[in-house]
Amino acid sequence: MNAREDILLSVEDLRVSFRSEEGKTEVLHGLSYRLPKGKVLAVVGESGCGKTVHALSLLNLLPSGGEIAAGHVYYQGKDVLSLPPQELRRLRGAEIAMIFQDPMTSLNPIRTVGSQITETILAHTDCTKLQARARAMRLLKQVGIENPRKRMDEYPFQFSGGQRQRIMIAMALCLTPGLLIADEPTTALDVTIQAQILKLIKNLQQKNHMSAVFITHNLAIVADIADEVLVLYGGYCVEEARADELFAKPLHPYTQGLLHSLVSLKRKEEHLPAIEGYPPAPGTPKEGCPFAPRCPRAWDKCHDRLPPLFEKNGRRVRCWLQEKDDNSGRN
Amino acid sequence: MLRYILRRLLLLPLVVLGVTFLLFLLTQRLSPEMRASLYIKDPRQMGALEEVIQKYGLRDNVFKQYGRWLSGALTGDLGYSHSANMPVARAIKEYLPATVQLAVVTIVLVVFFGVWFGTVSAVKKDKWQDVCARLLSVGGFSLPIFVLGLLLLMVFYGKLGWFPPGGYSITTDVIIHSPSFHTYTGFLLIDSLLNGNIGVFWDVARHLVLPAVTLCIGSFALMVRVMRSSMLEELGKDYVRTARAKGLAESAVVYRHAGKNAVIPVITLAGIQFIRLLGGTVIVETIFDYPGIGRFGVTAAQQLDIAGIMGFSLMVAVLFVLGNLLSDILYTAVDPRIKLHE
């Protein structure tokens, strides 16, 4: 990433652990990245790799049992995680907004859609109820809900999944935040709706010059929307690069595997290629590279020692293969 | 909605018929002579036994007898209660308002404190507030009503003299039966205010405290537990996370979002408990000598006052159906997803 660019969000050595009866389990092992203004960062990985946990920690929204063990999240220079509750609240929704994975459960089932949007506006601004309502109506129209005047007073169950996600988007963008965190916003929707929602987010992001952290396991989405890509595996960042570079030349064997398993119309194969094995369960004691057990190119060293993040040409890769060319890696 | 209500009301006669007929069948286990003897106060009149049997047709076939009771009931004549020394219909009219009054006060207290304590308990899970609320609720749950009632009576009446038993004092009795006191609703708390007589209001309220508190404790315990677990469940849901992510104050998250959802199961419970209070405050009314319908029912049962028992059960059956209907209607007010039509 270019250091001269205006950095909006900077995450430093973020570690998250969960308490359970067996003790603490660290699920995110020191994640660091920087996001310039107006850019979109995609965080990619399989289920359980720490994507969502990372997204929730950005706003200190971890569920009970989860805690941020170490690290900092700076938004416009402010240390988000050490803000007093009052100020953190002012940031949430107004400066940093979030869209969640499941639009079916993310809206309060027994309150009207309109009231759920207007309450965000009312919580952060001095406008009157009527003004907030007018604004909410405009937003609904903007995200493609027809007849917003009538639909404002309807309940979430009267909307389809795609429409609910549109409402979530309207709610997230009602105060034109500087940063949007989208946690798999299209995963729960069917494919045609996915494309529409994605397009909507992309349009609004560009129109409002918003930065976004886009969490997904879908590489097709990444290619469509992201400027930067960060690949997570087992709670570690294994690769970070500009999207075009990553797709052109993935460096980490895991990323290579992911790209290889994409459905392609050019290839004619009986079976889709897949990465053998399963990702490590959180809390599995490990020395060495988390991907080593599944890596086709692993050797002894990979099983014994965790590779540092090697930095090369503005790209970062956590793989011993890089050591051969470059020894200036940093952890 | 209206159609649903009408349909539910159609059920009412069925329930009433079922309950009263079963009960009527049970009374037939007593021989006509036994039933007739209940009307005879003086042993010297035993010779009139056969006359009574003939007069009331006690030897007729059960359907015929039940039909007679039913047609009477339909015209508002529920027979004569010898335990209360007045017609059953009048006894109900006289005693029911006091019980409804007690039940309403109790259920309001139970819901208010139950929801409040349950919410605090859930929000402060495993903190001292939660531990206290749970101890209180387990304690209340395990304390039998008759023990608690007697204890309260001992302390607050016996020792301190603050809250006397009974329905009202003798002075009040004189006032409310004087021609200048108008009976508007039958509920003394309301009527006293409508008559502008604060003294009566305070007197009635003072007499309500102990039975209401006694009734509260057990129901309260259950309410706290239901509210707590329901609240905990709601607080873990996605929409609560959304509310937090929007930057709402924690109180808005807890009350406006989670609370409104969490209260739905409480409504069912409150409905059931309210009905139970209306028909079954027997023990409490007996302990505190409270002039309610429960005391009427228990006296009727003790003295084998068949007309009284039949009237009492008829009333409970009607209240049961209406109470359930009421809690169904309340549901729709809270949860827009529930529509009362099929």
pLDDT tens, B57-101? 888 888 888 998 888 888 888 888 888 889 999 999 888 888 888
| Residue pointed to by tokens 């992001």 | A205
Taking 3-state DSSP, the helix, strand and coil percentages for chain A, each rounded to the nearest 5, stand at: 35, 25, 40
Q: Are residues B74 and B95 in the same domain?
A: no
Share of chain A above pLDDT 70, in %: 92
In a domain, B339, yes or no: no
Contact A144, A200 (CB under 8 A): yes
Please name the helix (run of DSSP H) or strand (run of DSSP E) that holds residue A213, with its range, or none.
strand A211-216
- CATH class for the domain made up of A7-95+177-324: alpha beta
Distance from CA of A73 to the nearest CA of B (A): 16
What is the residue whose two structure tokens read 């329930």?
B15
Give the model's pLDDT for residue A107: 93
Select the more confidently predicted residue: A32 or B281. Answer: A32
Residue reference for tokens 């929704």: A93
The better pLDDT of the pair B312, B170 is held by B312
Mean pLDDT (whole number) for B283-309? 88
Q: Which of A59, A105, A111 sits opposite B237 (nearest CB)?
A: A105
Judged against a pLDDT cut of 80, whether residue A278 lies above it is answered with: no
Helices H / strands E in chain B, number of each? 16, 2
Q: How far is CA B286 from the centre of its chain?
A: 14
Q: Provide the pLDDT for residue A269.
A: 62
CATH of the domain at B153: 1.10.3720.10
| B340 part of a folded domain | no
Element holding B22 (H helix, E strand): helix B2-27
Q: Which residues of A touch B245 (CB under 8 A)?
A: 59, 61, 92-93, 97-98, 100
Q: How many domains is chain B built from?
A: 2
Note the pLDDT of residue A263: 67
Q: How far is CA B91 from the centre of its chain?
A: 16
- Across-strand partners of B170? none
Least CB-CB distance to A61: which of B244, B250, B335? B244
Element (H, E) at B118: helix B88-123
**Three-class DSSP category at A160:** coil
CB atoms A110 and B248 under 8 Å: no
Mean pLDDT score across all residues of chain A: 85
Task: Please report the pLDDT score of residue A42 as a whole number.
Answer: 92
pLDDT of residue A265: 63
**Token pair recorded at residue A309:** 């993040």
- Please, what is the average pLDDT of chain B? 86
- CA pair distance B215, B210, nearest whole angstrom: 9
Tokens of B324: 């359930």
Q: A215 to each of A9, A32, A98, A181, how far by Cα in Å?
A: 15, 15, 11, 8
* Residue range(s) occupied by CATH 3.40.50.300 in chain A: 7-95+177-324
Asked if residue A226 has pLDDT above 70, the reply is yes
Q: Percentage of chain A with pLDDT > 90?
A: 32
ipTM exceeds 0.90: no
- Are residue B167 and residue B237 in the same domain, yes or no? yes
Q: Among all chains, which residue has been given the structure tokens 């309450």?
A: A119
Q: Among residues B226, B338, B320, which one has the least CA distance to residue B277? A: B320
CB A187 within 8 A of CB A220: no
Closest CA to B81 of B311, B299, B312, B307: B307
Please check whether residue B272 lies inside any domain of the structure: yes
Q: How many A-B residue pairs are in contact by the CB < 8 A criterion? A: 80
Show the DSSP H helices in chain A as ranges: 51-58, 85-91, 113-124, 129-142, 148-151, 161-173, 191-207, 219-225, 243-248, 253-260, 300-304
Specify whether B123 is located in the same domain as B195.
yes
Look at residue B242 and tell me if it is in a domain.
Answer: yes
Residue B222's nearest CA partner among B234, B230, B210, B211 is B230
pLDDT in tens, B190-245: 888 888 888 888 888 888 888 898 888 878 888 999 999 999 999 999 999 999 99
- Within this chain, do residues B209 and B326 fall inside the same structural domain, yes or no? yes
pTM here is: 0.80
Same domain, yes or no: B77 and B141: no
Statement to judge: residues B326 and B187 lie in one domain: yes
- From the CA of B258, how many Å to the nearest CA of chain A? 8
Picking from A110, A139, A152 by the largest number of B CB atoms within 10 A of its own CB, the best residue to mutate is A110
CB–CB contact A102 B238 (8 Å): yes
Residue A51 has pLDDT above 50, yes or no: yes
Helix then strand count (H, E) for chain A reads 11, 12
Q: Which of B225, B231, B223 is nearest to B257 (CA)?
A: B231
Separation between Cα atoms, residue B285 and residue A169, nearest integer Å: 58
Q: Do B238 and A105 touch (CB under 8 A)?
A: yes
More confident residue, B91 or A288: B91
Establish if B323 belongs to a structural domain.
yes
Same domain as B137, residue B6? no
* Residue B226 to residue B208: CA distance in whole angstroms: 26
The string over A273-294, giving b where at least 16 C-beta atoms fall within 10 Å of a residue's C-beta and e elsewhere, is eebeeebbebbeeeebbbbbbb
Q: What is the DSSP letter of A256?
A: H
Residue A37: how many CB atoms within 10 A of its CB? 15
Q: Which among A265-279, B180-194, B255-269 has the top mean pLDDT?
A: B255-269
pLDDT band at A1 (very low <50, low <70, confident <90, very high): very low
Give the domain range for residue B100: 87-334
A159 Cβ contact partners less than 8 Å away, ≥ 6 residues apart: A113, A151, A167
Contacts of B172 by beta carbon, 8 Å cutoff, 6+ apart: B199, B200, B203, B204
The per-residue pLDDT for A331 is: 43
Instruction: Give how far A196 is from chain B: nearest CA, Å.
Output: 22
Q: What string of H, E and C letters represents the secondary structure of A162-224?
A: HHHHHHHHHHHHCCCCCEEEEECCCCCCCHHHHHHHHHHHHHHHHHCCCEEEEEECCHHHHHH
pLDDT value at residue A230? 93
Do B193 and B201 touch, CB atoms closer than 8 A?
A: yes
- 3 state DSSP class of A16: strand
Mean per-residue pLDDT for B119-144?
Answer: 87
Residues B291 and B159 in one domain: yes
Confidence at A325, pLDDT banded by 50, 70, 90: low
